[in-house]
Structures are given as structure tokens and as C-alpha cells.
Amino acid sequence: MVTPLSPDELARYARHIVLPEIGGAGQLRLRRAHVAVIGAGGIGSPVLQYLAAAGVGRLTVIDDDRVEASNLQRQTVFATADAGTAKVAAAAAALTRLNPHVDVVPHAVRIDAATAPALLRDADVVIDGCDNFETRLAVADAALAARVPLVSAAVGRFEGQLGVFRGWESSRPCYRCFVGDAPAREGLTCAEEGVLGPVTGILGSLAALEAIRQIAPFGDDSAGRLVLMDFLSLRFRTLALPKDPGCRACGAGAD
């Protein structure tokens, strides 16, 4: 039996409910949903805030870092007083204040290939906003194996990219179709190359939007498309990503 939305929930989510594309049924789907978020940093902060505000019933937050002063320029879920606190604990406290209807499950660990399957268990959507390639591959492989939609977002300096992957479907690519099969890639971190704060906010907000689209579908299906954003010139490009028939993860010869 489906428990109806409470009076507080009806008032809180009223702007969703009046949207024909969401409505009460869509809001109930959000309440029943479980989203796992990898990284509570620049991308993860707005992801968590918007998904909690939207009424996603359970949010699993995975991050092993602590809040530092340099985070506060872009990681908006944290306050100055959170410095030194585990990010997942500070984020959980902030999200509970934002919406007490949401169950926040913090994991102060670094996710890897060995731990990803258990940490992502029962998720309806996985959002990856982490800052290293090895972790991205581990998360992508686990999401593909569990047949869970993966929303992948990345930023650097004045640029961002966003993609949605459902590689178990015959016509959709997986993350490895996009990046190849390299076990790791060298790259500069935000600490080394910098990033404009609102860039992470935009990418995190878009990642939250795409997670909601996977839970309560609206508009066009975004799986298999990659959005590239250049904020120096304010240009956006959308690319259709082909499925790689030779992909070892989701191609014809995949296990």
C-alpha cells in the first residue's frame, strides 16, 4: 500500500506536483527512490541539496574527505563551522535540516572496485562527481553490472561535461564506451588547476536534474548523450555517443 503524501509534503513539493510531467505520481516515485552520490564536493554539494529538496527518499553519500577552508568557495552544502568535519557527516546534518523527510546514509570511505557493489546496492540512480579516473571506472563498472543508470559529471577550470549511461541496453553506450579501457589517466585536480565555483554548481544542478529524469521520466531520454560546456565562451554542445560493439564491459563479447 502506497502511503499518500503528508500535508507538509504536499506543501513542500507543490511546485513539482503542479507540473504535468511530474505530478503526485512522480513525487511519490521520488520519495521511494534511492540515489547514491559519489563525492560530496563541488559537484556533489548541489546534487545533494537539490535531490534532498526534491524529496528523494534515500540519499547515500560516499566520500572519505574532511571539510577544508578551500572547499567553501564552491561546496555549498558546508559552512565555515564545518571545517575539519567529515564531509559526509556535515552533509548529512545539512540535508536533514533542509528536508527531514529524506533519509541520508553517510559512508566516510573511498569507494573502489572491491567496495562499489555493496555501497551501490539497491540504488535506483548513481551520480558520480568524484575527482579521479580510477574511481570513476570502478563506479561505472559497478553501476553497469547492477543495471543502474549512471549520471557522470566532471568539471575543470571553466569547463564541464555531463553524461547519462545505461550500457546494458542494446542501443545505449556504457561509460567505458566513452572513455575506453585505460585503467587510469593522469590529470590535474581542481587544487592544481583551479575551478570557478559556479561551474560546479551548474554541473551539480544538471546532474540532479538528470537523476530526477531517470526516476520520474520527463521530456526526452538523455541516456547516450554527452553535454560539453565551455563557460569562457558560454557555449554548449551535445554529442550522441555510439555504443562500442567491441567494448569489454557492454559490447557483444562482454561477460
Which residue ranges make up each domain of the chain?
Answer: 33-240
Domain 33-240: CATH superfamily, name plus number:
NAD(P)-binding Rossmann-like Domain (3.40.50.720)
Write out pLDDT tens, residues 37-68.
999 999 999 999 999 999 999 999 999 999 99
> What value does the mean pLDDT take over residues 118-126?
97
Q: How many residues does the chain have?
A: 255
Q: Is 111 exposed, middle or buried (0-12, 13-18, 19+ CB in 10 A)?
A: buried
Write out pLDDT tens, residues 152-179.
999 999 999 999 999 999 999 999 999 9
Write out pLDDT tens, residues 184-231.
555 556 667 899 999 999 999 999 999 999 999 999 999 999 999 999
* pTM score of the predicted model: 0.95
**215 by DSSP, 3-state: which?**
helix
Mean of per-residue pLDDT scores for the chain: 95
